[in-house]
């Protein structure tokens, strides 16, 4: 499949690994693909994302909020019978103190070697191929990867976009227009 990727699309895939390393994640998720898209200087896709108010800094802030538990509302979980402190205590009893901390065991260290793609990130790359086919493109560009993120719609990248108030239909149209230009 990667033989059909343009140089820009290949750079997004490579940069997504770099983004995962920078965030000290041991996987490449949809959020890393989004960060890589935002980091493509001079890319029409990055320009469209910026026009929709998305910056790399805002995306990283949202990713940290979603992945570091800041978004967990103990009171809300308590209303459905989940004691967040009890869950944390149980996890730490089973896996050791600090397991859930950002700098706990297995975290805080930059991952080495190959970093695997999550199921959702793989799906985004598959969907980028479908987007290219639908748009009758002979190759897969970074714009097609962005359209794949939108079509997948459930990963952390979609949550980041939604959190920023991005209208997926409008963004889809703007990216499609940029691809046609």
Per residue in 94-147, pLDDT tens?
766 555 554 433 445 556 677 888 899 999 999 999 999 999 988 889 999 999
pLDDT at position 57 is: 86
Low-confidence ranges of the chain (pLDDT < 50): 70-71, 102-107
Give the CATH number for residue 14. 1.10.1780.10
pLDDT at position 102 is: 47
- Looking at the domain assignment, is residue 59 inside a domain? yes
pLDDT at position 62 is: 84
Number of compact structural domains in the chain: 1
151-171: b (≥16 Cβ within 10 Å) or e: bbbebbbbbbbebeebeeeeb
If DSSP codes are grouped into helix, strand and coil, which group holds residue 165? coil
- Looking at the domain assignment, is residue 75 inside a domain? no
C-alpha gyration radius of the chain:
18
pTM for this model (two decimals): 0.76
Paired residues of 5 in beta bridges:
140
Q: 157 and 31 in contact (C-beta within 8 Å)? A: yes
- Looking at the domain assignment, is residue 133 inside a domain? yes
If DSSP codes are grouped into helix, strand and coil, which group holds residue 152? helix
- Looking at the domain assignment, is residue 83 inside a domain? no
- Looking at the domain assignment, is residue 43 inside a domain? yes
Q: 176 and 135 in contact (C-beta within 8 Å)? A: yes
**For residues 170 and 39, what is the distance between their CA atoms, to the nearest angstrom?**
21
Helix, strand, coil percentages for the chain (3-state, nearest 5): 65, 0, 35
- Looking at the domain assignment, is residue 42 inside a domain? yes
Mean pLDDT score of the chain, rounded to an integer?
A: 81
- Looking at the domain assignment, is residue 162 inside a domain? yes
What domain range is 149 assigned to?
Answer: 2-69+114-180
- Looking at the domain assignment, is residue 103 inside a domain? no
């Amino acid at each position: 499949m990667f033989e059909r990727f343009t140089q820009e699309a290949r750079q997004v895939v490579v940069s997504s690994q770099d983004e995962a390393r920078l965030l000290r994640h041991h996987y490449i998720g949809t959020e890393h693909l989004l960060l890589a898209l935002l980091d493509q200087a001079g890319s029409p896709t990055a320009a469209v994302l910026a026009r929709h108010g998305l910056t790399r800094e805002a995306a990283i802030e949202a990713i940290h909020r979603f992945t570091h538990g800041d978004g967990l509302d103990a009171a809300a979980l308590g209303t459905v019978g989940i004691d967040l402190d009890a869950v944390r205590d149980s996890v730490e009893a089973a896996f050791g103190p600090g397991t859930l901390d950002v700098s706990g065991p297995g975290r805080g260290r930059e991952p080495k070697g190959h970093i695997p793609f999550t199921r959702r990130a793989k799906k985004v790359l598959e969907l980028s191929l479908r987007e290219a086919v639908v748009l009758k493109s002979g190759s897969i560009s970074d714009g097609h990867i962005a359209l794949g993120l939108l079509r997948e719609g459930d990963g952390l990248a979609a949550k980041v976009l939604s959190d920023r108030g991005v209208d997926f239909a409008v963004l889809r149209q703007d990216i499609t227009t940029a691809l046609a230009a």
